[in-house]
A and B are shown apart, each in its own frame.
Chain A
Amino acid sequence: MTKADGTTRTHARPPKIKPRLRSADVVGALIGVAFLLPVVWLTVCAFKPVSELAAFPPSLLPIPPTLENFGAAFVDGDFGAFLWNSLIVAVLSTVVVVCLGLPAAYGLSRTRMKGSARILTSLLIVSVFPVIAVIPPLYVILRGMGWLNSYQALIVPYVAFGLPLAIWVMRNSLLPISPQMEEAAEMDGASTLRTIIQIIVPQALPGIFVAAVLTFVSCWQEFLMALSFNASAQYQTAPVGIALFGGAFQLPFGTIFAASLVALVPIFVLVLLLRRWVVDGLSTGAVKG
């Protein structure tokens, strides 16, 4: 099993010797810090007064820190409405993905269904296929259905594009579960659905969490479909709001960064809380970036 720090599963470490600075540890940690720096800069700049944002050379700390950018984003700019739309779309998509994906993962891993290998490989391709391939036809179809500028215009495609990955992740977490309890439940006359809910779900919970988090994160980030299908500001999501901030000549970076920081908090918290599982999910290769 993975240790709590998410590092290793195969090789047991020798008992801890008193810490001594090893160059490998320092190099590794510095790499991590380096990747963090741009986000640190984003945070610093979100708290800078507007006058300081365009200073050169730039000041490295927001002294004094100010909330005026947050005011501009949420009080004057109504960025909260974009976040609300993102939340509705991402949460509903995630719920549907898990509800449809879990039975599919079960069917593809624990029954004698034919052609499941071929289906699984195709799913993998679908999950990373460029979205632009479906933008023109989906636009025409959604327009025909009168679904442009609505939540479902995003939820339906997000579900379809989120399912393949979620099915993969959940399938991988179902494979090691012993079939004996299932068989026993079946002998007792439990229905398939009941077996899944009572026997499988509790044991596959980590996999289900990872699938849900990954789906949520990818819905929260999605831009091209959100931009294409919902032109009305009433249904635009956070990435669209962030991309379209500002006028033709001057970008209000302070406002953009304040809004961005708030939009990033939910996914950062989710990802860091489920860090161990997400790292495992990523490192088993079943995740797109």
Chain B
Amino acid sequence: MSLLTTTTGTATPVARRSGTARTDRTRRRGVLLAAPAIAVIALVTLVPIAFSVYLSLSAVRPGVEGFEFTFVGLANYAEALQNPAVWEAFAFTGTYTVVSVTLQIALGLAVALAIDRMTRWAGITLAMLLIPWAMITVVSAQLWSYIFNGVYGIANYLLMLVGVIEAPVTFLGNPTGAFVALLVADTWKTVPFVALILFGGLRAIDKELYAAAKIDGAVPARILGQITIPLLRQSIITAVVFRVLQAFGLFDLPFVLTNGGPGTSTQSIAMLAYNALFQDLNVGYGAAIACLTTAIVAVFAILFLRTFKVDESHD
């Protein structure tokens, strides 16, 4: 079951009585209990995003009494959109998102199906999958940069052992190799996460459906396409949304593994905004890039919200 479906049918009887004084009281109580948490979230996420829009319309200079803001209209956005580095970063991040999420969902589904078929050792296998998931991304980046090292990396050794290459390759020295290195490192950490979400969905599928399909003579591919994937729809959507938003915010991995290189070929949008802020000390410009990212992600999030229903459990 995914969280999109677990919420149905558990209405509390308390909540069903309507129009009584008690109802009003619990409604007010609900607001009071939720208010502090919601306020903190809003203050630290929504308010800053609104402030970021203001920053993106300003020239921000560090002054004696903190930052000084001058309204400059859309100048920061114009500068960003005229900069080929910005387009390159958006193109890289977009390509990376599509490629990595497609690959990870496919592999995640394969791993989930494999675990679902296990009758023994499933517990220990799930435990082994939790390890990459719990990995600190920065550590993973350092580890993979060692594995992909052009001089002594074990990736070269293994590829030479099976005869794919004849001499060591400098993976991180060319754009394709660096892209692949990022993809491998990311996929290693993320496939377990996707697999666990999809495995939860698989567990909820009635196994008798498979038995019935088999009796009707359906081949495995047909069962996958016509029973498993449609019934996993909600879990797949959840995994895709989480992965897309994370991939679009890609930062830790390229910052450490490729440092955006070679050149700027693996510079993500988040890295670009970070560099604008902390290398060029151009807060307004960095805010403009951050706002562009926010806008793109928000559009995706709104599209997602339309396919997503939460039961209020008392309507």
Give the interface of A toward B (CB within 8 A). Answer: 4-11, 13, 19, 22, 24-25, 27-29, 31-33, 35-36, 38-39, 41-42, 45, 53-58, 100-101, 103-104, 106-114, 116-117, 119-121, 123, 125-126, 128-141, 143-144, 156-157, 159-161, 163-164, 167-168, 172, 175-176, 179, 182-183, 192, 217, 220-221, 223-224, 228, 238-240, 242-243, 245, 251, 253, 256-257, 260, 263-264, 267-268, 271-272, 275, 278-280, 282-289
Q: Could you give, for residues 1-40 of chain B, a 1 whenever the CB lies within 8 Å of some chain A CB and a 0 otherwise?
A: 1111011001011110010000100110111111011101
Please report the C-alpha to C-alpha distance between residue A135 and residue B132 in the assembled complex, in whole angstroms: 27
The residues in B between 297 and 315 inclusive whose CB is less than 8 angstroms from any CB of A are 297, 301, 304-305, 308-314
Q: How far is the CB of B228 from chain A (nearest CB, A)?
A: 15
The answer to whether B43 touches A160, judged by C-beta atoms less than 8 angstroms apart, is: yes
Please report the C-alpha to C-alpha distance between residue A286 and residue B239 in the assembled complex, in whole angstroms: 10
| Chain B minimum-CB-distance residue to A101 | B37
The answer to whether A114 touches B290, judged by C-beta atoms less than 8 angstroms apart, is: no
Contacts A136-B273, A137-B48, A223-B252 known; A192 to B238 CB distance under 8 Å?
A: no
The answer to whether A128 touches B246, judged by C-beta atoms less than 8 angstroms apart, is: yes
The answer to whether B157 touches A137, judged by C-beta atoms less than 8 angstroms apart, is: no
Please report the C-alpha to C-alpha distance between residue A22 and residue B120 in the assembled complex, in whole angstroms: 9
The answer to whether B310 touches A221, judged by C-beta atoms less than 8 angstroms apart, is: no
- For A33, the chain B residues whose CB sits under 8 A away are 128
| Chain A minimum-CB-distance residue to B253 | A223
The answer to whether B4 touches A285, judged by C-beta atoms less than 8 angstroms apart, is: yes
Question: Among B33, B51, B114, which residue has the most Cβ atoms of chain A within 10 A?
Answer: B33
- For A35, the chain B residues whose CB sits under 8 A away are 128-129, 131-132, 188, 191-192
Given A110-B12, A136-B277, A159-B40, 19 more pairs with CB closer than 8 A: A22-B119, A32-B121, A38-B140, A109-B12, A111-B15, A113-B26, A117-B311, A128-B242, A132-B293, A134-B44, A134-B49, A135-B274, A160-B43, A228-B277, A239-B138, A239-B252, A245-B142, A282-B200, A288-B242
Q: How far is the CB of B62 from chain A (nearest CB, A)?
A: 9
Please report the C-alpha to C-alpha distance between residue A100 and residue B3 in the assembled complex, in whole angstroms: 21
Q: Could you give, for residues 190-225 of chain B, a 1 whenever the CB lies within 8 Å of some chain A CB and a 0 otherwise?
A: 111110110111011011000000000000000000
Verify if B92 is at the interface (C-beta below 8 Å from A): no
- For A264, the chain B residues whose CB sits under 8 A away are 134-136, 139
- For A19, the chain B residues whose CB sits under 8 A away are 120
Please report the C-alpha to C-alpha distance between residue A236 and residue B185 in the assembled complex, in whole angstroms: 24
Please report the C-alpha to C-alpha distance between residue A160 and residue B36 in the assembled complex, in whole angstroms: 11
Q: How far is the CB of A218 from chain B (nearest CB, A)?
A: 10
Q: Which among B34, B111, B117, B251 is the interface contact of A224 at CB below 8 angstroms? A: B251
- For A27, the chain B residues whose CB sits under 8 A away are 114
Please report the C-alpha to C-alpha distance between residue A229 and residue B121 in the assembled complex, in whole angstroms: 44
Contacts A11-B207, A272-B127 known; A144 to B15 CB distance under 8 Å?
A: no
- For B293, the chain A residues whose CB sits under 8 A away are 130, 132-133
Please report the C-alpha to C-alpha distance between residue A58 and residue B135 in the assembled complex, in whole angstroms: 24
- For B7, the chain A residues whose CB sits under 8 A away are 172, 175
Q: How far is the CB of B205 from chain A (nearest CB, A)?
A: 8
Q: Which among A31, A106, A116 is the interface contact of B111 at CB below 8 angstroms? A: A31
Please report the C-alpha to C-alpha distance between residue A35 and residue B133 in the assembled complex, in whole angstroms: 10
Q: How far is the CB of A258 from chain B (nearest CB, A)?
A: 11
| Chain B minimum-CB-distance residue to A177 | B12
- For A8, the chain B residues whose CB sits under 8 A away are 122, 203
| Chain A minimum-CB-distance residue to B194 | A289
- For B59, the chain A residues whose CB sits under 8 A away are none
Question: Among B37, B132, B256, B313, which residue has the most Cβ atoms of chain A within 10 A?
Answer: B37
The answer to whether A111 touches B29, judged by C-beta atoms less than 8 angstroms apart, is: yes
Please report the C-alpha to C-alpha distance between residue A54 and residue B207 in the assembled complex, in whole angstroms: 51
- For B18, the chain A residues whose CB sits under 8 A away are 112
Contacts A56-B151, A113-B31, A128-B242 known; A38 to B188 CB distance under 8 Å?
A: yes
Verify if B143 is at the interface (C-beta below 8 Å from A): yes
- For A263, the chain B residues whose CB sits under 8 A away are 136, 139
Q: How far is the CB of B274 from chain A (nearest CB, A)?
A: 7
Q: Which among B40, B118, B128, B199 is the interface contact of A163 at CB below 8 angstroms? A: B40
Please report the C-alpha to C-alpha distance between residue A271 and residue B38 in the assembled complex, in whole angstroms: 28
